[in-house]
Chain A
Amino acid sequence: MFKTFPIRSPLQTGGVKKTINTWARALPSWVVYSVGMLPALIAFYQGATGGLGAEPIKALEHELGEFGLKLLIIGLMITPLRVYGKIQLFKFRRAFGLLAFIYVMLHFAVWALLDLGDVALIWADLTKRPYIILGMIALVMLIPLAATSNNYAQRAMRGGWGLLHRLTYPVALLSGLHFIWLRKGFQIEPLAYFAVIAALLLLRVPAVQRVLRRG
């Protein structure tokens, strides 16, 4: 350790890394699923009991969407963390991906059923509003990914599976744009999300990977 990373303190980086990897090995995935569902349960509970303010529907809708976006980002971080950080969280990738899917579906359900609650309004938005259309495309692209997230599909599809699951890249990109587009004025928060997504996608570009490996 000391010889490989002479600049950093082995106690700090190596130690933390080791701890994370040890914990990750011991932690079963169902814990990630259970903890991952807590924010949704809490948000619904708060919404139903007045804890989300004067406009609980919008608050819930935004909360679920933003958490879904966070989960998508975590999913995109797993491979770079392994390659560049030697942190092994690979066994949770499916959990994060499926949780992201669940949150996006809940976000959609709250929008369709509670926020609009009217087929004509939903249809009008889906055909007229660019940011809604972007979000909807991202949601639709997530459906085959969730459907093929099991071991059986993964084995049966062989190389095609990895190719199909690259759809997470446009999904993240569209979700980030969806977020930027719905805000009024020039706001930092959605732009920060988008910057993180863009950086994580850049790490997928072969030329960028070559430079990073050499460095």
Chain B
Amino acid sequence: MAKRWQNDLGAADITTEAVFMNRRAVLAGMAAGAAVGLTGTAAQAADAGAPNDWDDITSYCNYYEFGTGKDDPKKYAHTLTTTPWSIKIDGLVDRPGTYDLGQILDKMTIEQRIYRFRCVEAWSMVVPWDGFELADLLQMAGVKSDAKYVAFETVARREEMPGLRYPVLDWPYVEGLRLDEAMHPLTLMATGIYGKPMPNQNGAPIRLVVPWKYGFKSIKSIVRITLTDRQPPTAWNKANGREYGFYSNVNPTVDHPRWSQATERKLGGGLFSRRQPTLMFNGYDKEVSKLYAGMDLRKFY
């Protein structure tokens, strides 16, 4: 079921975006001010809501399978073969199997979601993703009642991904969500940006987008989804558990051990762009805070 969530960002500014030709589901951003209200004035809020342009989104990427430099993915990700593509869905599901991406997409309704995207490195952007809700895919596979978590895995092909030669992380990249996080209407399986197919460097052909969590939770180029009753291991948590927790919700009051998370700088503002305050749950407080009611977010960072 699509259209469970309405875009609250970018409507006022999106018309100035030259690259953005294929507008589909842009709805009036009546809640734009409310969602970013913590930043203060309407001018600031509008600024926070303008989607970044295509070049910024597709040239500044963290996709370590193609190198650790921000420009490496754009340079090297063209080698990744994305057709044919299939996703293995297994574990605690009624209909496990290897699903062809084309067959999945035939059953899904693609809609546009304009989301803030906040990297754990304290930069951010606003991205007009195209995709469908993960909940719809999970319902297609049939989630068994004892499933509590969803585990994801990125493709790992040494011959196509030069970064796999270096042990920066324990490959393949893996991520995970609690089932209620995975079923949340904000949680998106994205297949495109600005109405164009997902560029390889951004996680083609299909990636996760969890807008209230740090960017590394939004795992790219997914080949496997496993429903499980145990909290699955996650790549950055395995590499450094003190710095990267399983939850990794955007939280300006819990600092990364090496840097502050209180502020962020939105990409694309040039050499003199200022930092802006980071919002609780990246501005999706209203939508997701109930998922964490009663939890100590310092402990479950």
Contacts and interface: CB of A to CB of B under 8 A. Distances in A.
Contact of A124 (B55, B59, B258, B260): B260
A128 B263 CA distance: 16
A106 B201 CA distance: 32
Contact of B60 (A48, A54, A125, A184): A54
Given A129-B258, A185-B168, A186-B167, A53 B71 contact: yes
Report which residue of B239, B255, B263, B265 has the largest number of chain A beta carbons within 10 angstroms of its beta carbon: B265
Contact of A185 (B60, B71, B169, B262): B169
Nearest to B68: A187
Report which residue of B55, B260, B270 has the largest number of chain A beta carbons within 10 angstroms of its beta carbon: B270
Given A130-B258, A181-B258, A186-B168, A54 B275 contact: no
Contact of B271 (A114, A116, A121, A183): A114
Interface residues of B, number: 34
Given A121-B263, A185-B169, A186-B167, A57 B258 contact: no
Interface string A31-68: 00000000000000001101001111110100000000
Contacts of A185: 64, 68, 168-169, 236, 239-240
Nearest to A57: B271
Interface residues of A, number: 31
Contact of A53 (B70, B262, B274): B70
A189 B67 CA distance: 12
A150 B297 CA distance: 55
A188 B168 CA distance: 8
B258 A114 contact: no
Nearest to B62: A184
Given A55-B123, A58-B123, A124-B260, A118 B275 contact: yes
Contact of A54 (B56, B68, B121, B259): B56
Contacts of A130: 258
Say what secondary structure dominates the interface of chain B.
Answer: loop
A182 interface: yes
Contacts of A47: 271
Contact of B267 (A55, A121, A181, A188): A55
A121 B167 contact: no
B273 interface: yes
A54 B268 contact: yes
A154 B178 CA distance: 65
A131 interface: yes
B272 interface: yes
B270 A182 contact: no
A117 interface: yes
A92 B29 CA distance: 61
A183 B123 CA distance: 15
Given A60-B271, A114-B271, A117-B274, A182 B258 contact: yes
Report which residue of B56, B123, B240, B258 has the largest number of chain A beta carbons within 10 angstroms of its beta carbon: B258
Interface string A114-147: 1111100100110011110000000000000000
A76 to B, nearest CB: 26
A186 to B, nearest CB: 6
Nearest to B260: A124
A191 to B, nearest CB: 11
A118 B121 CA distance: 18
B275 A116 contact: yes
A94 to B, nearest CB: 31
A185 B237 CA distance: 11
Given A53-B59, A53-B70, A185-B64, A114 B272 contact: yes
Contacts of A56: 270-271
A57 B52 CA distance: 17
Interface string B141-163: 00000000000000000000000
A61 to B, nearest CB: 11
B166 interface: yes
B258 A131 contact: yes
Nearest to B58: A54
B223 to A, nearest CB: 21
Given A58-B123, A187-B68, 8 more contacts: A48-B270, A54-B55, A55-B60, A121-B260, A121-B263, A131-B258, A181-B258, A182-B258
